[in-house]
Amino acid sequence: MKVTIIIPTINEEKAIGRVISEIQLNLLKKKYDIEVLVIDGASTDNTAKIAEDLGAKVITEKRKGYGRAYKTGFERATGDIIVTADGDYTYPMTVIPELIERLEKDNLDFITTNRFKYMDKKSVRNLHKIGNAILTSVTRILFSIDIKDSQSGMWIFRKKILDRLVLKSDGMPFSEEIKIEAYTKGLRCAEMPIRYRTRIGEVKLESYKDGYKNIQYLLLKKLNRV
């Protein structure tokens, strides 16, 4: 069994070393072959070099977009199981063995994570918390799926399910899109709480612009127009 860990980055030199170093590779390698892919958006700092020095395979993706980075990662991944996380140190890479164990033990296809139960107080501004709550509520209502965090970027799933998912967004809506697709295609899904930390480095999220695009996407998807 092989596991691919996909980390999208753009100018994350302050964090990427800590992110990769936190992966419990020695523990994981006792049971799995491990592949770490860093999908880098043409960083102008030392992100790529740091990642390569720590054994990750760096793939440069010059096309912009959060979703585009993940699509490229999915295409290049060779693992049977895929794990995702941002490159800014917000997600706890130490929980990867536990998440994979849950996937296998409960015979699940897709696990998403809930950042809000154990969130560091300063990790997300109040405006972002409100925006996330609104987006999650709209997602739950429109698509009748039981999740508490529609925007989480840490997922664990079997690569084979990608053939059943229609993933169109190249931008931030990709995060809600992959959950909607997994939950509405009859797959065995679950959501697990994780700790969420204050990011290291510059915040790249554009609150109003990204929030609007996410709401627009949800409505268009419900109307089958995306």
In the chain, domain spans: 2-222
Per-residue model confidence as pLDDT tens digits over 128-139: 678 889 999 999
Per-residue model confidence as pLDDT tens digits over 50-65: 999 999 999 999 999 9
CA distance 50 to 56: 9
Nearest CA-CA partner of 153 in 171, 134, 130, 126: 171
Strands 2-9 and 81-84 turn out to be parallel
> Residue 161 has what pLDDT?
98
Per-residue model confidence as pLDDT tens digits over 87-138: 999 999 999 999 999 999 999 999 999 998 887 766 666 666 788 899 999 9
Please give the helix or strand (H or E) that residue 180 lies within, else none: helix 174-184
Helix (H, G, I), strand (E, B) or coil at 113: strand
Q: Which CATH class, in words, describes the domain spanning 2-222?
A: alpha beta
